[in-house]
Structure 1
């Protein structure tokens, strides 16, 4: 018995689009085989995507959201994250102008697991969260977001599971070749010398079947060279101007700059499918991406109230904030920085399924996922003198520009190579003597490898309320390491004199960079990375003198064995048809970490290796039930205990400490540490939803959820037994360290609603018009201890809203989409490429596209050709973070401009 009675169109869409990979296929296989003689119905473009997504939502036993490709190699948006951010209860955070990571139901990227064809993916960042811009959208067939888990889902998470799915060539059922090419341009222009504001995207896909449709292949290649430009205002902070009686807040310092980057990505997909008979099917899929991001940043650092030569004289103060004044004796640093990232991701899976007889089937799935990342973050400094009080200074006028930044009025020419020279203008470090940090370079490397083996069996009952029982075991081994190296840079020509500066050699000089967007005019520009690569700096390893750097490298290992059993139900309850599942997982984890114990003796860092870890078992029951309360109307109930594993960068066994032989309080040891014994976040979650599918392309749904967080991870002070590391040290071996610990929990709750509407069902004149609307409201309370104040939950926006209006008819299609996200606590990059949480201001991002499919034109020579024009960030929405609760205290203001794309797709 099916929960719904699908129309021929719904059956056709599910059958045509069903993937044979991962747990999503299991939800649709019964529907796909329901009718062997389904009428072929041609549905293309936006409506095909919407109808297939709706079919997946209808046929799933869990509460899910889905995105399906409009055609081969053609997901609705230019990136997976952009598409995901349009789903109910899902929001994205932008990085360098593009959607990068997502939050589900108010829970940030740390609480979301990403899978490819049902298999958990390694990640290039320091944690587990997948950066979705690593995955070319052109090579994916659909993405399904599972908001409620079941026992057969190995990669569960408290927020949700995002499963990216590739195409099944045998299910596709016909030969196809698709080619696409798009040009891209950013309307800010080329902000840095040598950069480009133009790029391109291209892809080719090939699908075919052989040997009487027993062998299928799908091959795909996608390449992207995407320009990105940015005008950025950054503030050091806002101290009090204490010489004024009212103590207004004032700018502590500023770091405005322009950034130009070229994002280069190559992706390859290969799927081989073999089904010699109805009993056996074997699928091998390979997904590889190579990702390179080259960023050039040029700008200026301006000490204001936190400067050394007198600070700020205020001329205008508005509501407790100095909005205009003069920075007296400003010593300005001109920066020429570089950020480069090279990352590779590889995913290989081999799935085999054998039907022993009408009742029994067995499955074996073997997978490997690897990710490697190498970063270069280089800073190069120039100014008028080495150290403070040496060179020429400036009296800089400033005034608020109303957007959170300031307009400056300089008196010096910061593009003059005879005035602005290489050195250490503000005395930021002394690796080889006073004021000898002429630059700095970070070179972190991350390697992540994840292997898994899953063995399962399913028994189908001939009758009864239990339709089938599935059981099995999954073993996952994961090794993740980070080598975090950083070096002070000192000019090789430095002769030890207090006022030594060096002119930038002419071969490295570039055209000056304009900082007119905040009034500073032109600044000196040069190829700092080429200058470094040519051996012009002496490097000093910061780990030799800095405790925090010495304990930034780590290795974490996990062995996770999950045994599970799940019963699939199909019956009646309270007189209503009901389907769903109940199940249980036993998750056994063994984790450990290699790290370093470090302290400083006589100005040198002394290190001792350390390995530590823990093992534990958690039991995770789950239930999903769907009641058909009326024709094509269902009420879903779900309950589960879920876990999300702790951040891997928090699970390191590093310890840095200081030893005091004669303490006043009896504690000899104090320091900071990671926690290799950190347990996962755990939650009990409850969901109820109502879904009304009133047409093949129309539905309304509303859902309410509550997540009871059993614990949460906080940095806390704890006792630590240093005697286990240094058994012969005199004194009390019990010291104190600040480390991440599982503390008090809390809750996350919310409501979300969505509506998909085809206006053509109301009147013929509206045929082709439609809209998709969704919104959510989230609330949370999380405490470190029962008596502490609630803390903000990273990634939680109280309100989100998405709206899309589209038109599609006779080959012509147009769409405009808007997504709103209220204020939230997000994670950004700080000094030395480390991560920190900051308050991010609400934003509304608007995208638009228009296109035409010549297959509807009646011109045979153009059949299969379609053209498309897209604009991303149509309203040029900035990305703004701020300090504290007052949004006037802008920490970071980023203006990305608009990206325009014009291209064509051709399908043979």
Structure 2
């Protein structure tokens, strides 16, 4: 029993510092189940072999998983500064039950979904500590953490009582290097050159990545230092995009009959630029066996920009007050659909938009551990600050609002639903700057008295997280309880979103004023292939345009502050015993959490708001908040079935807090006239919102083959107690109106203060359940002939009995009354085949997920829901490391990401009708690593 306890503690110490399953794979699993003795014998025979590269990373990750008391997944760096993929998110997405959602702007893995739940359900930690973020979500984007600075990533699928900052789906803990874990000084440097947008149909981009790592120990290994530096610069290639305006197919008249025709489109070519500098520093001090101290510093600063150049406009209908309806001529009609034809009165809008941001994340952590007799006390202090300054320019060019002679647009190849395949031609050349003038093309500002030749928004995010944690642990001898731990954690978080925005007005002119577009550059408008005039709008405010600041209820409601104070007290006991002849280990305990949340926002006085300026639309500050407590019990037990087989059981209550902007106290409302009748309608946050919470049960069977491989099958069930959704509800706005507030003038709600308010709300009931299967083995376990080959394959299937009101979509053309849980992919599969021997490394990896409901940012920086088609993404990797001679320690590598050029596709409710399509192309990386 004592020996088992010692092994458990060694495993915990290491942990703290540290396609669909095919018949062939299943057959391999059955075959190797009877080979435990062979695997053990091979490991004993080769125990002096130094394992490096892919297999080293796999073996270290398996060791973490095997020795953990909880159900976890892990990845470990193949070598210092070398995670398996170019980004943390891509590496994590290869684990069982884990997948990634690609960024619409870059095509790269950005957000991580675990067990079919959206990224906001995860808790994210850096070295065990909560971090500030630069977005509306709680957790920081994974782009802020360069893969070269990470030593390992651990995903807790079941929590324990000592895990603070946990999530409902999982808790993701990113860990930097610890210098005293290394046996000697290590220096490593790497450089990668990349090409992006290959075979995207547009221009290619380039990029450079460089990193340097230094690990050393001094004073007889009592002092350790690890330093990591990274620099990344990318000029992204062109990405061709197409948006069918939500699949709009209006009825139009053609020779006295009604036919279907494409309503309009938006087609852009996007180019991006990304720069990021990262640094990680850890100082460790361990003068004796009773005391150790570690100071962690992490820094990440970057700038991003996204330039959109394209063409937008109504084909069959109208897009604004200056855009008359077109008349269809020369049409071909098939089954009531105008498959080709020409529309007159086409007012094309040339789009030159640019979104840019500068962000900075600084994180400090100081951990001290002191052993006093039988007690081990730990004090941990941390501070994290994130800042993001953003700019969004939108400019429009074309014919002015009072243009007398308009052009036409012709199209071919339309069948009623294949929007992205239609071919368009225009009578006017929108690459000609005499045609594409900077102006208010369609009257989107409301008319000549309020011209809008573009729009600008300048939002800022500031987030600070401070935390103190105290804990004490000692060994005990109380039946199966072999250790007891008590702790306290206090976290203080303050986050604010501020900014200003407004219309761009051409300087020195009237309502129909126009200006020449600077320069002579042209670009291609997305997938439609039409040439358009191009320029960079950054800096045009003050030279070409004036700002007419927009201050109305909807704009003011975007600004908010949220303050959150969370106190956590926890107790946990470690278990080591025997039940029905089976040895087991594990833990049990609970967290008591008290939360005090407060928020403020802007409230517009509609009775006094007569315009959209500060002077004409006064506002006040609204405040709100809530205090509440939660108790989160947890139990993890791992039964040793013999022959390296384990049965793990996990039970816990888990929660995930709402996104910060959902807690804002601001709201806006007014008379809505877009429905069947006028009614007061509004939206806002909910400062009294409580977290998602669920009771979770997990069961996992794991079979290990030494530290070389494993097979696992797991099931999980989460009974949701509360969840958060957005939906309109009946609301009486009477406390917020006066005698002069505009009210509906007709219909059943004429003169009524009762209307619909859309805010985040807490619902209850429903469940999420599923299973996972994983196989990770080197083929040498089967036969020595296949030495060097191996496979990692896993599949997960997740279902939910939760449906939510279909509200919050970026398009109004969604006919469904209910929607599934956002982020839920029913099926997720991963496959990685590799060969590694004599310095050669070859790997092919694919990840596949089914359709899911995703979240994207719209043109107003609001989060919108959209259905995203399932995708399969294939990546390739090839490298060679010199084993001897003067070049020993040098390795060269080549990678190809998104080899199959999988597009990003959105739809409303019918997967066969794609409303938005983005082609990213492949990304090639070529580089060298040198370790000495």
State the 1:191 CA deviation: 8.6
Per-residue deviation at 1:238?
2.8
**Higher mean C-alpha displacement, 638-647 vs 724-733:** 724-733
Runs (5+) with no aligned partner, structure 1: 22-37
CA contact (8 A) 1:237 1:253 kept: no
Matched, 1:234 2:243: yes
The residue that corresponds to 1:252 in the other structure is 263
Asked whether the 8 Å contact 1:424–1:435 carries over to 2, the reply is: no
Alignment of 1:223-302 (within 5 A): 223-229=231-237, 230-243=239-252, 250-302=261-313
Q: Give aligned pairs, total.
A: 864
> Alpha-carbon deviation of 1:835?
1.8
Counterparts of 1:317 and 1:270, CA distance in 2: 68
Report the Cα offset of residue 830 of structure 1. Answer: 1.2
Structure 1 residues 257-293: Cα deviation after superposition (integer angstroms, max 9, x where no partner)? 1111111110000000000100001000001101211
Inter-partner Cα distance in structure 2 for 1:2 and 1:833: 58
* CA shift for structure 1 position 410: 2.3
Note if 1:493 corresponds to 2:508.
Answer: yes
1:385 maps to: 400
| Distance change in 2, residues 1:647/1:250 (3 Å) | farther
Indicate how the Cα distance of structure 1 residues 502 and 717 shifts in structure 2: closer, same or farther if over 3 A, else same. Answer: closer
Matched residue, 2:92: 84
Which structure 2 residues correspond to residues 294-373 of structure 1 after superposition, within 5 A?
A: 294-307=305-318, 308-310=324-326, 315=331, 323-357=339-373, 359-373=374-388
- Counterpart check, 1:798 vs 2:823: no
- State yes or no: 1:880 paired with 2:905: yes
Is 1:907 the counterpart of 2:931 in the alignment? yes
1:548–1:573 CA distance, 2 compared to 1 (3 A): same
* 2:56 alignment partner, SS class: helix
Q: Distance in 1 between matches of 2:715 and 2:563?
A: 37
Distance in 1, matches of 2:207 and 2:241, equals 22
1:669–1:418 CA distance, 2 compared to 1 (3 A)? closer
Q: CA deviation at 1:783?
A: 4.3
Aligned residue in 1 for 2:431? 415
Q: Provide the secondary structure at the position in 2 that maps to 1:427.
A: coil
Matched ranges for 1:772-791 at <5 A: 772-783=792-803, 791=819
Is 1:425 aligned to 2:453, yes or no?
Answer: no
Cα offsets for 1:170-206 (capped at 9, x unmatched): 11121010000011112448999xx971111000000
Task: Quote how far apart the aligned CAs of 1:5 are.
Answer: 11
Which residue among 843, 850, 864 is the counterpart of 1:836? 864
- 1:93 aligned residue: 101
Deviates most, 297-306 or 405-414: 405-414
Paired with 2:299 and 2:870, the residues of 1 have a C-alpha distance of: 35
Counterpart residue number, 1:33: none
Structure 1 residue 414, shift from structure 2 partner: 1.3
1:474 corresponds to which residue?
Answer: 489
SS in 1 for 2:357: strand
Is the counterpart of residue 864 in structure 1 residue 889 in structure 2? yes
2:590 to 578, 584, 593: 584
Q: Distance in 1 between matches of 2:700 and 2:83?
A: 27
Tell me if structure 1 keeps the 8 A contact 2:467–2:491.
yes
Q: How does 1:386-535 map to 2 (within 5 A)?
A: 386=401, 390-400=404-414, 404-430=420-446, 433-434=448-449, 436-462=451-477, 464-496=479-511, 498=512, 500-504=513-517, 508-515=518-525, 517-520=527-530, 522-532=531-541, 535=543
What CA distance in whole angstroms lies between the structure 1 residues aligned with 2:491 and 2:757? Answer: 32
Per-residue CA deviations over 1:283-316 (Å, capped at 9, x if unaligned) read: 0000110121122111110212333322656956
SS at match of 1:413: coil
Alpha-carbon shift at residue 13 of structure 1 (Å): 11
- Which residue is 2:664 aligned to? 652
User: Which residue is 2:22 aligned to?
Assistant: none
For residue 514 of structure 1, report the CA deviation from its aligned partner. Answer: 2.8
Whether the 8 Å CA contact 1:297–1:338 is kept in 2: the answer is yes
For structure 1, which segment, 457-466 or 667-676, has the greater mean C-alpha deviation from structure 2 after superposition? 667-676
* Structure 1 position 204 matched with structure 2 position 206: no
CA distance in 1, matches of 2:894, 2:599: 50
Residue 833 of structure 1 and its aligned partner are, at CA, apart by 2.4
Which of 719, 744, 757 is the equivalent residue of 1:708?
A: 719
Find the residue that maps to 1:782 and give its secondary structure.
coil
Preserved CA contact (<8 Å) 1:202 1:224 = yes
> Could you tell me which of 738, 744, 747 is aligned with 2:764?
744
Counterpart-to-counterpart distance in 2, 1:626 and 1:312 = 71
Contact 1:14–1:55 at 8 Å: present in 2 too?
no
Q: Is the partner of 1:833 in helix, strand or coil?
A: coil
Q: Are the aligned partners of 2:248 and 2:264 in contact in 1 as well (CA < 8 Å)?
A: no
- Take 1:483 and 1:110, find their aligned partners in 2: how far apart are those partners? 22
1:643 maps to which residue?
655
| Residues 312-364 of structure 1 deviation map (CA, whole Å, 9 limit, x = unaligned) | 5695677887654433321101111111121111111000010101x211100
- Counterpart of 1:610? 622
Query: 2 CA distance for matches of 1:669 and 1:331?
Result: 33
C-alpha displacement of 1:793: 0.6
* 1:549 corresponding residue in structure 2: 555
User: Does the Cα contact within 8 Å between 1:238 and 1:249 map onto a contact in 2?
Assistant: no
Aligned to 2:420, what secondary structure does the other structure show? coil
- Residue 121 of structure 1, CA deviation: 1.4
Give distance in 2, aligned partners of 1:6 and 1:863: 38
For 2:585 and 2:847, how far apart are their aligned partners in 1? Answer: 34
- Given that residues 236 and 253 in structure 1 are in contact (C-alpha distance below 8 angstroms), is that contact kept between their aligned partners in structure 2? yes
What is the rounded CA distance, in whole Å, between the counterparts of 2:339 and 2:411 in structure 1?
11
CA contact (8 A) 1:385 1:392 kept: no
Point out the more displaced range, 723-732 or 269-278: 723-732
For the aligned residues, what is the CA RMSD? 3.0
1:659, distance to aligned residue in structure 2 (A): 9.3
C-alpha contact (below 8 Å) 1:400/1:406 kept by paired residues: yes
Task: Report whether the alignment pairs 1:566 with 2:581.
Answer: no
SS at match of 1:54: helix
Q: Cα offset for 1:648?
A: 1.2
What's the offset of the Cα at 1:395?
Answer: 2.7
Greater relative contact order structure (CA < 8 Å, 6+ sep): 2
- The answer for the alignment partner of 2:321 in structure 1 is none
Distance change (3 Å), C-alpha of 1:294 and 1:132: same
Going from structure 1 to structure 2, the CA distance change for 1:563 and 1:284 (only over 3 Å counts) comes to same
Alpha-carbon shift at residue 801 of structure 1 (Å)? 0.5
Q: Which of 158, 176, 179 is 1:169 aligned to?
A: 179
Deviations 1:665-705 (A, max 9, x none): 9x998643311000111100111010000232111001100
> TM-score normalized by structure 2?
0.88
Aligned residue in 1 for 2:853: 825
Distance 1:727 1:385, change over 3 A: closer
Q: Secondary structure at the match of 1:213?
A: coil
